[in-house]
Amino acid sequence: TDQKGLKLVELDEDGVDRAFRDDILAGLSQPQKATPARWLYDDAGSQLFEDITQIPEYYPTRAETEILRDRGDDFARHISPGSAVVEFGSGSSVKTPLLLQAIAPAAYVPLDISGDFLRASAAELSAKFPGLPVHPVEADFNRLVELPAEVRDLPKLGFFSGSTIGNMIAHTAVDLLRSMRGTLGEGAQLLIGMDLVKDRETLIAAYDDAGGVTAEFNRNLARRINRELDGTIPVDKLRHEARWNDLHARIEMHLVAEEAIEFSVCGKAFTMEEGETIHTENSHKFGRRSGNMLLLAGGWTPEERWTDAEGRYSVVLARA
């Protein structure tokens, strides 16, 4: 559920999601066609992402879960007792309980823009932790969020898992970190998952699995454009590609035209030459220093850091 809630839907007369249409038309009009990653997560895309978290090559979910499972004692030692856990996103049914179990918080506050996911996962957690006050807040956490009065005087622990921060370019990530700081207040702590730079083969395999699930996840965007924006993209002529961009330390997902194609979206004509791509996602990977630098730029001082046994993934504790 890491980022699928991040959409504010405003429909025009034809029932078209305006923000989606504007982003896609603008993105396809650039010399390097590029679309914001958030549009990958319609219902089908969200399900495909859930499937990705289970595939053998996609290590981040398993590595992060391992850390959350094994480092409970460390969390309990370093996180202020009696904190309110404020989760950015609706929470995962596996990872969130591991954290809550480890630190026995005073309250749990999931923040999500999608009320349905939010209520469903809040209900699930309430059932799992009967004594824990749960206060879901329907809000866009990219902006300042007013926390419920019940938790205002408690120490705060922000929780942002899944390395979703890696899907943002640095200035967007810094904006989000600063908003989180504003929402949680000075002195708050943040527990954040950050995927690590590693050998190219492991990274490419994680984003181009042999079973083709990630390819379907990527191509689903083109299908969604065809369905929702009256598009004529020949999806079968677009090949999924995962690229390592070393300058930016990120995996990029692209849809590559296998031959020259023409199509329209909302009545607007587009062409792609053979080999031309639509850049659909960035997934930045961090080193210890680059991860720390990003947090510092966002107003958070790193305090502790844990990695999985294979050193593929990190969970960082920082303080505002």
Q: Is 166 in the site for ligand AVI (CB under 6 A)?
A: yes
Taking the chain, what is the end-to-end CA distance rounded to the nearest angstrom? Answer: 26
**Sheet containing strand 137-138, strands side by side:** 137-138, 107-112, 84-88, 156-160, 189-195, 313-319, 301-307
Residue from 1, 83, 167, 189 touching ligand AVI (CB under 6 A): that is: 167
Q: Is the Cβ of residue 183 or residue 218 nearer to ligand AVI in the bound state?
A: 218
CA 202 to chain centre: 20
The set of residues, in sequence order, having a beta carbon less than 8 Å from that of 315 and lying 6+ positions away, is 64, 67, 68, 71, 161, 191, 192, 193, 194, 305, 306, 307
Residue from 83, 90, 96, 164 touching ligand AVI (CB under 6 A): that is: 164
Residues 39-58 contacting ligand AVI, CB under 6 A: 52
In the stretch 78-117, what mask flags binding to ligand AVI with x, by CB under 6 A?
Answer: ----------------------------------------
> Phi, psi (5° rounding) for residue 234?
-75, 90
Of 5-13, 159-167, 184-192, 270-278, the window that binds ligand AVI (rule: CB under 6 A) is: 159-167
Of 9-17, 149-157, 164-172, 196-204, the window that binds ligand AVI (rule: CB under 6 A) is: 164-172
Residue from 1, 3, 83, 189 touching ligand AVI (CB under 6 A): that is: 3
Query: Number of residues in contact with ligand AVI, rule: CB under 6 A?
Result: 13
Q: Is the Cβ of residue 12 or residue 199 nearer to ligand AVI in the bound state?
A: 199
* Cβ pair 113, 5 in contact under 8 A: yes
Q: Is the Cβ of residue 164 or residue 183 nearer to ligand AVI in the bound state?
A: 164
Residue from 283, 292, 307, 314 touching ligand AVI (CB under 6 A): that is: 283
Q: Is 160 in the site for ligand AVI (CB under 6 A)?
A: no
Residue from 1, 2, 147, 189 touching ligand AVI (CB under 6 A): that is: 2
Cα 49 to Cα 1, 92, 222: the distances in Å are 9, 13, 16
Residue from 160, 207, 286, 306 touching ligand AVI (CB under 6 A): that is: 207
CA separation for the pair 48, 304 (Å, rounded): 33
Residue from 161, 179, 214, 307 touching ligand AVI (CB under 6 A): that is: 214
Residue from 105, 162, 231, 299 touching ligand AVI (CB under 6 A): that is: 162
Beta bridge partners of 307: 314
Structure tokens at 141: 């956490």
Beta bridge partners of 270: 263
Shortest gap between Cβ of 284 and ligand AVI (angstroms)?
8
The set of residues, in sequence order, having a beta carbon less than 8 Å from that of 67 and lying 6+ positions away, is 306, 307, 308, 313, 314, 315
| Single-letter amino acid, residue 271 | T
Tell me whether strands 107-112 and 33-34 are parallel, antiparallel or unpaired: unpaired
Shortest gap between Cβ of 146 and ligand AVI (angstroms)?
27
The residues binding ligand AVI (CB under 6 A) are 2-3, 52, 60, 162-164, 166-167, 207, 214, 281, 283
